[in-house]
Chain A
Amino acid sequence: GAVVSQHPSWVICKSGTSVKIECRSLDFQATTMFWYRQFPKQSLMLMATSNEGSKATYEQGVEKDKFLINHASLTLSTLTVTSAHPEDSSFYICSARDFPGETQYFGPGTRLLVL
Chain B
Amino acid sequence: DAKTTQPPSMDCAEGRAANLPCNHSTISGNEYVYWYRQIHSQGPQYIIHGLKNNETNEMASLIITEDRKSSTLILPHATLRDTAVYYCIVRVRGNTPLVFGKGTRLSVIA
Contacts and interface: CB of A to CB of B under 8 A. Distances in A.
Interface of A: 1, 4, 6, 32, 34, 36, 43-46, 49, 91, 93, 95, 100-109, 111
B44 A106 contact: yes
Contact of A102 (B87, B93, B102, B103): B93
A104 B98 contact: yes
A14 B56 CA distance: 48
- Candidate in B38, B94, B98, B103 with the most chain A CB atoms within 10 angstroms: B98
Which secondary structure dominates where chain B touches chain A? Answer: loop
B30 interface: no
Which secondary structure dominates where chain A touches chain B? Answer: strand
Interface string B35-66: 01010011111100100000000000000000
The 9 closest A-B pairs by CB, nearest first: A106-B43, A44-B100, A106-B44, A43-B100, A109-B43, A101-B94, A108-B43, A93-B43, A34-B97
Q: Size range of the interface on B?
A: 20 to 34
A104 B102 contact: no
A53 to B, nearest CB: 15
Nearest to B92: A101
A106 B41 CA distance: 13
Contact of B45 (A46, A91, A106, A111): A106
Nearest to A104: B98
Given A43-B87, A46-B99, A49-B97, 14 more contacts: A4-B43, A43-B101, A44-B38, A44-B44, A45-B100, A46-B97, A49-B95, A100-B94, A104-B46, A105-B46, A106-B43, A106-B45, A108-B42, A109-B41
